[in-house]
C-alpha cells in the first residue's frame, strides 16, 4: 500500500481536516456491532496508519469512549457533523483511520482482512480470498 502516502482527508462538513505522512500498515473491513452504528449497517473500511504520521490540520475532534467496556476504544468524530474519523485502541500503536473520510477514498486498495465477523450480519459481504477473523487477527489481540 505504499502508493498511499501524503493522504489528506476530513469530515463531511469540513471542520475537521487531517494529513497522513506515512503509508498505511494494512487495511481491512470491520464487521463489529459498533461499526454498524457508524456506517449505516454495513462494515467499516479502515486503514491502520502509524499514529505519529497523522495530524489534524484544522479543527479538534470530539471523542467518545464507552465507560462500560474494558479496554474500550476511543472514537474521534466531528462535533458538528458527526463524521467518525479515527479509532484509537488501547495498546495498539497504530491509528484506525476510516476510509470514507479520505479526500480520495479510491486510494484504498480494498480490504486485506475482515475482522469481528462474529458480530457481522447476514448481508455483509467478504470478498473472495480475504482472510476473515471472528475477532481480531492473532497478531493484534
Ligand atoms: Zn464535520
Ligand atoms: Zn468495528
What tens digit of pLDDT does each residue of 62-80 get? Answer: 999 999 999 899 999 999 9
Q: How far, in Å, from the CA of 61 to the mean position of ligand 1?
A: 9
Q: What's the CA gap between 99 and 139, in Å, rounded?
A: 22
Residue at 20 is within a domain: yes
Tell me whether residue 53 is in a domain: yes
Give the side-chain half-sphere CA count within 13 A for 10.
Answer: 13
The CATH number of the domain holding residue 29 is: 2.170.150.70
Residue 128 lies in a domain: yes
Residue 1 covered by a domain: no
Q: What is the pLDDT of residue 27?
A: 95
Domain of 18?
7-140
22, part of any domain: yes
User: Which CA distances in Å does 61 have to 4, 80, 83, 86, 99?
Assistant: 23, 9, 10, 9, 17
For residue 87, being part of any structural domain is answered with yes
CB 21 within 8 A of CB 84: no
- pLDDT number for residue 4: 54
* pTM confidence score: 0.91
- Does 108 reside within a domain? yes
Residue 95 and residue 88 in contact, taking contact as beta carbons nearer than 8 Å? yes
What's the CA angle centered on 77, arms 34 and 20, to 5 degrees?
105
Number of domains in the chain: 1
For residue 31, the CA-to-ligand 2 centroid distance in Å is 5
Does 49 map to a domain?
Answer: yes
How is residue 126 written as a grid cell? 467478504
Kindly report the number of other CB atoms within 10 A of residue 7's CB atom: 23
Q: Which residues of the chain have pLDDT under 70?
A: 1-5, 140-141
- Distance from Cα 41 to the centre of ligand 1, integer Å: 20
Amino acid at each position: 500500500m505504499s502508493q498511499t502516502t501524503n493522504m489528506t482527508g476530513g469530515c463531511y462538513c469540513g471542520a475537521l481536516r487531517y494529513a497522513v505522512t506515512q503509508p498505511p500498515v494494512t487495511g481491512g473491513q470491520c464487521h463489529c456491532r459498533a461499526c454498524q452504528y457508524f456506517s449505516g449497517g454495513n462494515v467499516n473500511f479502515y486503514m491502520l496508519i502509524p499514529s505519529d504520521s497523522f495530524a489534524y490540520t484544522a479543527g479538534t475532534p470530539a471523542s467518545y469512549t464507552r465507560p462500560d467496556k474494558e479496554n474500550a476504544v476511543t472514537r474521534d468524530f466531528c462535533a458538528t457533523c458527526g463524521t467518525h474519523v479515527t479509532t484509537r485502541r488501547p495498546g495498539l500503536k497504530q491509528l484506525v483511520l476510516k476510509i470514507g473520510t479520505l479526500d480520495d477514498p479510491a486510494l484504498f486498495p480494498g480490504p486485506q482482512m475482515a475482522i469481528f465477523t462474529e458480530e457481522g450480519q447476514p448481508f455483509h459481504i467478504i470478498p473472495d480470498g480475504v482472510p476473515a477473523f471472528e475477532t481480531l487477527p492473532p497478531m493484534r489481540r
